[in-house]
Amino acid sequence: MHTLEQLRNGALQGVKRLQLSADLSVFPEEIFTLADSLEVLDLSNNRLSDLPEDLTRLKNLKILFASNNCFSHVPDVLGQMPKLEMIGFKHNQIQTVSETCLPKQTRWLILTDNAIKSLPESIGSLTRLEKCALAGNQIPALPDSFAQLKNLGLLRISANALAEFPDVLLDLPKLAWLAFSGNPFCPAQDEHLEFVQVHSADVLLHEVLGMGASGLISRATWQNNVNGFAEQVAVKVFKGEVTSDGFPADELDACLTVGEHENLVKPLAHIHEPNYSALVMDLIPSDYYNLGQPPSLETCTRDTFTQGQAFSSDQAEFIIAQMRDLFAHLESKQVSHGDLYAHNVLINPAGHILFGDFGAASKYHNLTAQQQEGVRAIERRALAYFEEDIRGLVTA
């Protein structure tokens, strides 16, 4: 995090990345002193509602983050930025996305959790677009021009106002990670009465084990263990608000719909109380570690891996065989995971994998036969990418 004082006294001259969170309501003119070097500008967590018309002076800017501000529109000046590729305006009050506000070279667009009611037809001209996050808006339909987004790999349209599944997505040749739950066309959430329901007072939360977009996972012990579960468990407490993937309630519904599989973390019970929703799961043994790392700004939609990470051919094929079996299980339950990535997979020294994070999952049993097959084809593309990545780690 940088400060305005550093910016004003010249201490940041020549930096490529600037992050300012200082309750700003006006764009600081001093940022233009970095025009020759600045490539990444993060103005998240301020009170900004617009950007200056001469923002184009930042001629090398590639990435702009402006989440948690007061924007009601995406500034038109962005469409004139010569090198801007990644745009993030999560959690503002954006209602308007004009025909001219998005630069043609955009690869990564984040407009999650706003109040957008329509997208411009010109979005189809963003032929380099690979990742598009639109969850948590009020969009009733996607423009027909979406058919032109031939490089789109990841799309989040959950928690919107879509009355019908957008068939235009089924012909996109690279789409592999799709989240669409929480729309009017989606099936209702199940009550899952077959799963044990416990009270929040029954478990005592300890240290945090993991943090995701939809909630916190903590180690827990039982205060009241009437069901004979293991004494130590993991508890994921869901946030109430919309996430980058959709509604946490849809994640819980999808996870319980999928049920048990040897390559899934076993769900034991759930907690459903006013303002408190949680999933109790088996505690993962400590020898499991992340199979992959999330995509970088450069790879955009593809996983990254730690330097030197490698498998034998037999190890790789064992990993792939497990994922294929799990994938068949998901298909049998008519649930699309939407985030089939190595970074959502844990693996132990014996090569056993555990797959998780159902934040982008969507149930699709109510769709037409053609749409169901299209959703499965999208998921199979993600599986193919996963297999390609794992085989790419094989050493002779």
For 144-259, where are the alpha helices, taking DSSP H only? Answer: 248-258
Q: What pLDDT is recorded for position 386?
A: 98
pLDDT value of position 4? 85
Residue 235: strand pairing partners? 218, 280
Q: What residue numbers bound the domain in which 378 lies?
A: 289-391
How many domains are there within the chain?
3
Integer Cα distance of 106 and 117 in angstroms: 21
Residue at 165 is within a domain: no
- φ/ψ of 349, rounded to 5, equals -60, -25
Residue 279 is predicted with a pLDDT of 92
Query: Does residue 288 surpass a pLDDT of 80?
Result: yes
The annotation places the binding site for ATP at 236
pTM of the model: 0.95
The pLDDT value given to residue 226: 87
In a domain, 125, yes or no: yes
**Residue 113 belongs to a domain:** yes
CB-based contact 184:206 (threshold 8 Å): no
Other Cβ atoms less than 10 A from the Cβ of 14: the count is 9
Q: From 59, 95, 57, select the one nearest 74 (Cα to Cα).
A: 95
The Cα 372–Cα 302 span in angstroms is: 25
396 has a pLDDT exceeding 80: no
Helix H, strand E, coil C: the string for 275-332 is CEEEEEEECCCCCCEECCECCCCCCCCCCECCCCCCECHHHHHHHHHHHHHHHHHHHH
Give the contacts of 350 (CB within 8 A, at least 6 positions apart).
none
Residue 272 confidence (pLDDT) above 90: no
Overall average pLDDT of the 75-85 stretch:
97
CATH of the domain at 272: 3.30.200.20
Binding-site residues, in ranges, read: 236
Shared domain for 271 and 297, answered yes or no, is: no
Residue ending a domain, among 152, 180, 208, is 152
Residue 29 — pLDDT band, cuts 50, 70, 90?
Answer: very high
The overall average pLDDT reported for the chain is: 95
Claim to verify: residue 18 and residue 144 sit in the same structural domain: yes
What number is the average pLDDT over the span 370-380? 98
If you average pLDDT over residues 73-80, what whole number do you get? 98
146 and 216 share one domain: no
Question: 173 in a domain, yes or no?
Answer: no
Do 28 and 129 fall within a single domain? yes
Q: Are 117 and 94 in contact (CB under 8 A)?
A: no
CA distance 294 to 342: 8
Query: Which tens digits make up the pLDDT trace of 187-244?
Result: 999 988 888 999 999 999 999 998 877 889 999 999 999 898 999 999 999 887 888 8
> Lowest mean pLDDT: which of 26-40, 269-283, 318-332?
269-283
Least confident piece of the model among 205-209, 213-217, 292-296, 355-359: 213-217
Query: Final residue of a domain: which of 152, 167, 183?
Result: 152
Position 210 scores a pLDDT of 85
Structure tokens at 113: 């959790």
> Which of these ranges, 10-14, 27-31, 390-394, has the smallest mean pLDDT?
10-14
Contact by Cβ (8 Å): 156, 139: no
In sequence order, what are the beta bridge partners of 217?
210, 236
Tokens 């509602």, located at residue: 49
Residues 244 and 275 in one domain: yes
How much is the pLDDT for 213?
A: 78
The residue behind tokens 């994070």 is 357
Pairing between β-strand 177-179 and β-strand 196-197 as defined by DSSP bridges: unpaired
Q: Residue 241: what pLDDT?
A: 80
**Which of 84-93, 136-145, 247-256 has the lowest average pLDDT?**
247-256
CATH number at residue 298: 1.10.510.10
Question: What is the predicted pLDDT for the residue at 191?
Answer: 84
- Are residues 131 and 274 located together in one domain of the fold? no
Q: Are residues 317 and 278 in the same domain?
A: no
